[in-house]
Chains A and B, each alone.
Chain A
C-alpha cells in the first residue's frame, strides 16, 4: 500500500473520497474527519434519526408524550428492561449465535425475586439483585456450554431451553402470582424512582450498556467476539479461544436477562407465569433493527439499545397517533425487514467497493 502512496501526488490523495478512504485505508484521513465520517455513516445514526422522528411526530400530536412528567419518565423507563435484554442478545448475535431463552430466564428470576421477598421479607435489595444475576448467569452457562461443547446450533439449543426454563417456571409458580402487596415498598420504588429526572432503571440499563459497549469496542476479548462472528472457522484456525468466548457471551446474556427479571418485578409489581412470553423476539428484533447483522461479526450494542428504544417508543407512539393494534405490529415487522434489506444492500455495496478499490490499486 505504501508503494501506491508514493506514486500518487499529494494533491490527489486528499481528494480521495472519504468513504473510499475509510473503507480501504482509514489512517489516511485526519482523526476528526475519520470519527465524523464513521458517525455520519453509521447505522446507529440512521436508526437514531428514525427514533427522533417518531418522538417528534408523537409529541407534535400530543404534547404530553414527552413534555409531561409521566411522559418523560415513561419514555426513559419503559425501554430499560428491553435495553438490557438487547445488549445481551446483541453480544450473542455478534458471535453468530442467538439466545432465545432470555424471556424464560427473565420469568424465572422475576418469580425468584418475589419468592425471596415473601420468604425473607427483610432481605436487602442488593442481595436479591445479585441472586437474580447469578441465577441468570447459571442458566446462560447451561446454554453456552451446550452450544460451545455440543456443536449444536444455538437456535436449536436455546429454543429447547426456552421451553425447559418456561416449564420449570410453570411447575414452580403454577397458578401462583406475586402481587405488589407481597413486595417491600422500597423495592417497588426502585422501579419508578428517578435521580435528576432519570429513572433508576434507565440508569442501570445505561451503565450496563456503557460497560459492555466499551468492552466490545476496545478490549481484546470484545474484538475477538467480532472475529468469531465474522468467520468462526477462521477464528479457530487463528487460535482464538472460541469456546470460552462464546460461553462468556451466553453467560452475559443470561445474567442480563436475570437482572431484567428482577427489574421487571420492581417495575410492574406483578409476576405471573406468563412474564416475558415472546420478549426474546423483541430483543432479537431490537438488535437487528439497531444494525447488528444476524449472521454476526458486525454492529454495536449502542445500536441494539437504540433499536430497543425505537421498538418500545413506536409501541407507545402509535396508539397516540391513532393507529390500530394490528398496524402497530405490522410497523415493527416492516422495520425488521427494512433493517435486514438495508443490511444486505450495504454489505453488497461494501463488497463491490472493496473489489473496485482493489482493482484500482
Chain B
C-alpha cells in the first residue's frame, strides 16, 4: 500500500516540474527594448521600427530597407520589438515611443484592434504612425503601406505560369485550406482572368486542390495532381507552404522540368529548388522595398509633405512617386519576381 500512495505523488511532482519548466521557457520576452535613443532636438528625424517580432528574417529584410531609406533621408531609425509575435507584446514598445517623443513609428501590427489604444496615445503625443505588412484598423494609424493587392497577386501568378508553359496547356492550383478567404479571392480572380483575357485563351485550369498549409498534405496533393492529370503543364501555389512542398515533390520526380511551378514563396524556402532548376521563378513582395517605402512615407508625414489624405503624393527615392489611396493606403506595387538571377540577394 505504501507504494500506492507514494507513486502518484511522485508522478504529480514530475508533471508539475515539467509544466513549470515549460512556462518558464515560454516567457522570456521583454528585453532589449528600451535603449533610449535620446531626444529629437537636433532636427534630424527620429523614427522607430517595430516589426511583429525580432529574429524573423522577413522583418530583418524590411528593416534593412528602412535603414537604407533613413540613411538617404538623413534620419535616425531604431529597431525594437518583442521576441514573440503576440499582440500585447507590442504595446510597451509603442508606449516607449510616445514617451521618447519620437517623430514617427513604423510598425507591423500583431493585431488590428488590440494596439489601437496605445497607438492613439502615441499619436496624441504627435507621433506619426505608419503600418506596413499587417494593418491596424484604418482609423488608428496615419498610413498603411500595403505590400500587394489581391488583383496584383492574381495577375502576377498567371503571368508567370503563362510565361513558363509557353502560353498554353493545362494548369492546376494547389491552395491552402478550402476556406482561406485570401486564397479563395485570388483563385476567383485568376479564374475570371483566365476566362476573359485573350492572352490566356489556351490555358485551361483543370483542378484546384487543398494542402491545408501542411507540408505533407500539400506534398501528397501535388502527387495526386500529377497522377490525375498526365497532361498537366503547370501548377500555381499561392501559399508559401504549398509551393515549397510541391517543389520538393517535383524536384525528385519524373515531372521535374516538364511541369512548371510558380506561386507565392519566400527565397529561403525556394532557394534549393530554384538553384536545381525545378522552379524557374516565383513571386512575393520584396520586404526590403516595403520597409524602404514605409520609411519614406513616415518621413513625408513628419515633414508635412503629405497629411495622409487620399490623393496625396510623395517621392520614395529609387522607387519613384506614390499616391495615397482610399483609407490611407499606399500600395507598394505589383509583386516582386524571384528567379535564379536575384534569389542570392535575399535572405528571408
Contacts and interface: CB of A to CB of B under 8 A. Distances in A.
Nearest to B58: A175
A236 B252 CA distance: 52
A268 B4 contact: no
Contacts of B14: 146
A69 B268 CA distance: 30
Contacts of B255: 70
A177 B18 CA distance: 25
Listed from nearest, the 3 A-B pairs whose CB atoms lie closest are A150-B11, A181-B272, A319-B224
Contacts of B64: none
Nearest to A171: B25
Contact of A179 (B84, B210, B219, B268): B268
Question: How many A residues touch the partner, as a band?
Answer: 35 or more
A171 B244 contact: no
B22 A325 contact: no
Contacts of B53: 175
B269 interface: yes
Interface stretch (A89-97, A160-168, A205-213, A336-344): A160-168
A353 interface: no
Interface stretch (A32-40, A126-134, A270-278): A270-278
Contacts of B241: 270, 272
Interface string B250-286: 0111110000000000001101110000000000000
Interface stretch (A45-53, A60-68, A222-230): A60-68
Interface string B210-236: 100011100111011011101000000
Given A70-B253, A151-B4, A160-B15, A179 B224 contact: no
Contact of B223 (A149, A180, A316): A316
Question: How many B residues touch the partner, as a band?
Answer: 35 or more
Given A149-B7, A167-B22, A268 B219 contact: yes
A180 B248 contact: yes
Nearest to A192: B252
B320 interface: no
B227 A270 contact: no
A320 B252 contact: no
A152 interface: yes
Given A70-B254, A179-B244, 7 more contacts: A64-B227, A70-B223, A70-B253, A171-B25, A175-B53, A275-B215, A320-B227
Given A270-B245, A272-B215, A78 B85 contact: no
Contacts of B272: 179-181, 269
25 contacts: A62-B227, A68-B254, A69-B254, A70-B226, A70-B255, A71-B227, A146-B11, A149-B10, A149-B11, A150-B8, A150-B11, A151-B4, A160-B15, A168-B22, A177-B269, A179-B244, A179-B272, A180-B269, A192-B252, A268-B215, A269-B272, A270-B245, A277-B214, A319-B227, A319-B228
Interface string A63-88: 01100111100100010000000000
A150 B269 CA distance: 44
Given A71-B227, A150-B11, A78 B220 contact: yes
A179 B251 CA distance: 14
A11 B26 CA distance: 77
Interface in A305-329: 315-316, 319-320, 325
- Interface secondary structure of B, over-half rule: helix
A180 B220 contact: no
Contacts of A74: 223
A174 interface: yes
A284 to B, nearest CB: 18
Given A62-B227, A180-B272, A268-B248, A175 B85 contact: yes
A282 to B, nearest CB: 11
A177 B248 CA distance: 15
A274 B211 CA distance: 13
B220 A316 contact: yes
A181 B271 contact: yes
A174 B83 CA distance: 10
Interface in B1-36: 4, 7-8, 10-11, 14-15, 18-19, 22, 25-26
Nearest to B57: A176
Which of A69, A150, A315, A320 counts the most B-chain CB atoms under 10 A from its CB?
A150
Contacts of B25: 168, 171
A325 B207 CA distance: 14
Interface string B326-346: 000000000000000000000
A150 B7 contact: yes
A12 B245 CA distance: 65
Given A160-B15, A268-B216, A171 B22 contact: yes
Contact of A320 (B215, B224, B245, B269): B224
Given A164-B22, A177-B269, A179-B244, A316 B224 contact: yes
B56 interface: yes
B211 to A, nearest CB: 11
Contact of B7 (A151, A174, A177): A151
Contact of A270 (B19, B220, B230, B248): B248
A171 B219 contact: no
A269 B248 CA distance: 7
B81 to A, nearest CB: 13
Contacts of A179: 244, 268-269, 271-272
A151 B9 CA distance: 11
Interface string A194-223: 000000000000000000000000000000
